Structure 1
Amino acid sequence: MLQPAAHLPTSPALRSATPRVAAIDIVRGLAMVIMALDHIREFWSPTAVRPEDVAHASVALFLTRWITHFCAPTFVFLAGTSVFLYQQKQASRGAVSRFLLLRGLWLVVLEVVVINFLLQWGYNALLLQVIWALGWSMVLLAGLIWLPRWLVGALALAFIFGQHLLPFLQPVTRANVGWALLYGQPFLFKLTPQLPVLVAYTVLPWAAVMAAGYAVGPWFQLPAPQRTRWLGAAGAGALLLFGALRATNWYGDPAPWSVQARGLLYSALSFVNVTKYPPSLLFLCLTLGVALVLLAAWGPAGRLGRWLSTYGRVPMFYYLLHFCLLSGGAFGWTALAFGKPFNLSFAPPGAGLPAGYHPSLWRAYAVWAAVVALLYWPCRWYQGYKQQHTHWWLSYL
């Protein structure tokens, strides 16, 4: 995700010290491809039933949503790892810190101005989501990289494991909104009487995930067999911890699992239905455990790996372009299908859904395949452009 900026000096020796790890690009590319499915489902096939509601949702709807839970933790964790690897190629820690500060603030602006515009045609609100949290996480990491790496890792684990001892402040008011932005459940806040703010991603949990990725960065400098053992052991340990804590409902997630009247399969869905907002300990054990196993298991790239790495090497370019396609496509489709464009994901309050609309996972999967396929060649072109040019702004997209 992070590439050396042209204005930060590097020597040939430093550049060659840390070869690019293919597994990072491949797993990040996999996360990006799966992520698009969730966004497309929301724009092209929203449902009255919440996908996470195991008492009412179908298995297909639940799994379509659930599989995308792996995307944000993987993306943010590997962003932290990329920061460490990027730092090894730079002669000055101060230059890296300044770059992270500027790039983080740029991502915040990108979320507020560009991504909100792409998402919300016809809906008047400010949405603070993953890029917002990613940006502020980089701002915090700009300071954390001055600490010993072991301390950064210890602080990250302390927060991830101890977060459930912290309070959720309800209701959110002007007096406590600062803490609510740092840690808490999603909330709606009136910035002005005309502008509500929906905060979906609070900052500290995701900053801890990024810091954890930064702390394990040296693992990716190890010889491949040792790197595989360490990543595999860490992933297996996280999954075992998830299983043990989830089975007991003792600690780690505010929503306990339960036996479902609909049968054994739905009880299993309840077991893996962990909390994303904010990401609970068990949510992170499950998602990052799988990510670590994939990072360990993915060997030589092969055709599939090369295809996925095309997206994984230009994640922010892919992220912005996929929103242009899915949002613009939904605008055109609804205009043709219902006589006027309709934002199915962010319908204005009281507007309801247009007559004749019916959710369809088949439609969502077909659009997903089309969007991912259409993005391949632009991403491949942009990857080649970045490799051949050193413009300073390329490090910010």
Structure 2
Amino acid sequence: MTLSKRILSIDILRGLVMIIMALDHTRDFFHIGAMTGDPLNPETTTGMLFFTRWITHFCAPTFVFLSGLSAYLSAQNKTPGKASSFLLKRGLWLIVIEIALITLGLTFNPFYNFIILQVIWAIGTSMIFLGLASRISYKTVLIIGLILVFGHNLFDLFPTPADPNGGMILKIFFTASGTILPVSSTHLVGVFYAILPWTGVMFVGYGVGAWYKKGYAAERRKRNLLIVGLLTIFVFISLRLINIYGDPAPRKEYHDFFKNLLAFFNVSKYPPSLQYTAMTLGPAMLFLAFTENLNNWFTRITAVYGAVPFFYYVLHFYLLHTLLVIVFFATGYTGKDIVQIPFWFRPATFGFGLPIVYSIWFCAVAALYLPCRWFKRYKENHKQWWLRYV
């Protein structure tokens, strides 16, 4: 697909969140407090540290939302059966990639003692469900998506089932915030992304995809995005003020304006609460509305990353972790310090302040620009079947 056939505003937004996402992973690898503190705790954080973590909240929901939107657009060129089959196969492929390739990039542990299931796992499983639901109807996908997004926090109101198997299933599908599953005495699986809340986000993105189909009026699309985006932000603000439903951890009150401000925006990502989803997807839809016809040097750069997000995503982990190994040895650590859980070469005492973290982040993103531009052009000029999966 050439750039002229792509929707530039989608690539711009996707590219922007991919760039911001790398900041969070750079912080995980290189910030002095990443392994020992909570950057979102109003009682212990600083404004800059809070912002550094909080701004990355927009990445996963926007990426999953756009994955659903892109799935709708891709299906327009296929029969329902072929579109469904592709989603099923790509979903399974993504789960395998999460386990085999991304876990290794995150941990650098060749023995896979700790397998990490996060956003690619959630996207893969959600694509499988989307492949099944889309065979029924577009309306079915949209209704299920809205029910999941608005209703999954109902599970926060009930106690965990006494049956351990039932409780584990509930965690994996609805409430996982760091569920550890022992596979053996030496191997663990960490489920950090509950499936169905993210499935809801993808299904809603699929529903919004209808606004981008051929023949849909651009002005009408922009109006829809503006209205729904503003309403979504209103839902977030209202629920946050009412402080009864929509987040498993109710907002805390402090006798300090700044801490109260931080607490207002400190919503739960694991799993993505209704308040978290509304806080992030509302601005994302407004961004899509205002960038439809935007074309300048900055948007052209971000669109490069957004055109090859999977390639960038995998590559940035290996680049950051390779840099971590170099700095690990350069700062005096030795072989006895390599094995750490979950990330090898990442002792809890290792790290730097935010200025160095931001510098490493900027250099890493810049270093990936040319590889991403090359791969984007390669995809534009080649039609091998496997390119549809990356």
Instruction: Settle same-fold status: TM greater than 0.5.
Output: yes
- Partner-residue secondary structure (3-state), 1:127: strand
Query: 2:161, 2:167 within 8 Å by CA — same for their partners in 1?
Result: no
> In structure 1, what is the equivalent of residue 362 of structure 2?
369
> In structure 2, what is the equivalent of residue 185 of structure 1?
176
Distance 1:346 1:216, change over 3 A: same
Kindly provide the CA deviation profile for residues 6-32 of structure 1, in whole angstroms up to 9, marking residues without a partner as x.
xxxxxxxxx9xx942211100000010
The Cα shift of 1:337 comes to 0.8
The Cα shift of 1:343 comes to 6.3
Residues 270-281 of structure 1 correspond to what in structure 2 (within 5 A)? Answer: 270-281=263-274
Which of residues 165, 169, 190 in structure 1 aligns to 2:160? Answer: 169
> In structure 1, what is the equivalent of residue 212 of structure 2?
220
The Cα shift of 1:307 comes to 0.6
Residues 22-41 of structure 1 correspond to what in structure 2 (within 5 A)? Answer: 22-41=8-27
- Partner-residue secondary structure (3-state), 2:210: helix
Which of residues 226, 229, 240 in structure 2 aligns to 1:232? Answer: 226
Alpha-carbon distance between aligned partners in 2 of 1:343 and 1:256, rounded to the nearest angstrom: 39
- Partner-residue secondary structure (3-state), 1:338: coil
> In structure 2, what is the equivalent of residue 6 of structure 1?
none
> In structure 1, what is the equivalent of residue 282 of structure 2?
289
Alpha-carbon distance between aligned partners in 2 of 1:296 and 1:242, rounded to the nearest angstrom: 19
Alpha-carbon distance between aligned partners in 1 of 2:244 and 2:149, rounded to the nearest angstrom: 16
The Cα shift of 1:358 comes to 4.6
Which of residues 304, 308, 312 in structure 2 aligns to 1:318? Answer: 312
> In structure 2, what is the equivalent of residue 67 of structure 1?
55
> Which amino acid in 1 is paired with 2:97?
L
Alpha-carbon distance between aligned partners in 2 of 1:345 and 1:273, rounded to the nearest angstrom: 29
The Cα shift of 1:264 comes to 1.1
Alpha-carbon distance between aligned partners in 2 of 1:352 and 1:367, rounded to the nearest angstrom: 18
Query: 2:134, 2:140 within 8 Å by CA — same for their partners in 1?
Result: no
Matched, 1:252 2:252: no
Residues 1-397 of structure 1 correspond to what in structure 2 (within 5 A)? Answer: 19-47=5-33, 48-90=36-78, 92-122=79-109, 124-166=113-155, 167=158, 169=160, 173-174=164-165, 176-186=167-177, 187-221=179-213, 222-261=216-255, 263-298=256-291, 299-340=293-334, 346=341, 353-354=348-349, 357-397=350-390
Query: 2:98, 2:120 within 8 Å by CA — same for their partners in 1?
Result: yes
Alpha-carbon distance between aligned partners in 1 of 2:126 and 2:11, rounded to the nearest angstrom: 20
Kindly provide the CA deviation profile for residues 336-389 of structure 1, in whole angstroms up to 9, marking residues without a partner as x.
11232656984689x9635xx453111110010001100000000000000000
Query: 1:55, 1:260 within 8 Å by CA — same for their partners in 2?
Result: no
Alpha-carbon distance between aligned partners in 2 of 1:269 and 1:69, rounded to the nearest angstrom: 14
| Cα-Cα RMSD | 2.2
Alpha-carbon distance between aligned partners in 2 of 1:348 and 1:126, rounded to the nearest angstrom: 11
The Cα shift of 1:393 comes to 0.6
Q: How many residues align?
A: 377
Alpha-carbon distance between aligned partners in 1 of 2:190 and 2:299, rounded to the nearest angstrom: 37
User: Which ranges in structure 2 are unaligned for 5 or more consecutive residues?
Assistant: none
Moved over 6 A (4+): none
Distance 1:318 1:205, change over 3 A: same
> Which amino acid in 2 is paired with 1:383?
K
Alpha-carbon distance between aligned partners in 1 of 2:162 and 2:52, rounded to the nearest angstrom: 32
* TM-score normalized with structure 2 length: 0.91
Query: 2:69, 2:206 within 8 Å by CA — same for their partners in 1?
Result: yes
The Cα shift of 1:335 comes to 1.2
Query: 2:130, 2:141 within 8 Å by CA — same for their partners in 1?
Result: no
Distance 1:344 1:36, change over 3 A: farther
Query: 1:168, 1:184 within 8 Å by CA — same for their partners in 2?
Result: no
The Cα shift of 1:177 comes to 2.7
- Partner-residue secondary structure (3-state), 1:279: coil
* TM-score normalized with structure 1 length: 0.90
Alpha-carbon distance between aligned partners in 2 of 1:310 and 1:348, rounded to the nearest angstrom: 29
Query: 1:160, 1:281 within 8 Å by CA — same for their partners in 2?
Result: yes
Alpha-carbon distance between aligned partners in 2 of 1:216 and 1:116, rounded to the nearest angstrom: 31
The Cα shift of 1:241 comes to 1.1
Alpha-carbon distance between aligned partners in 2 of 1:346 and 1:69, rounded to the nearest angstrom: 24
Query: 2:253, 2:260 within 8 Å by CA — same for their partners in 1?
Result: yes
Alpha-carbon distance between aligned partners in 1 of 2:103 and 2:27, rounded to the nearest angstrom: 18
> Which amino acid in 1 is paired with 2:28?
E
Alpha-carbon distance between aligned partners in 2 of 1:281 and 1:168, rounded to the nearest angstrom: 19
Distance 1:124 1:21, change over 3 A: same
**Percent of aligned positions that are identical:** 38
The Cα shift of 1:231 comes to 0.5
Kindly provide the CA deviation profile for residues 207-238 of structure 1, in whole angstroms up to 9, marking residues without a partner as x.
11111100111112322222111101111000
Distance 1:345 1:385, change over 3 A: farther
Kindly provide the CA deviation profile for residues 147-200 of structure 1, in whole angstroms up to 9, marking residues without a partner as x.
221221111111111112125737894454333221113211212221121110
Alpha-carbon distance between aligned partners in 2 of 1:365 and 1:28, rounded to the nearest angstrom: 20
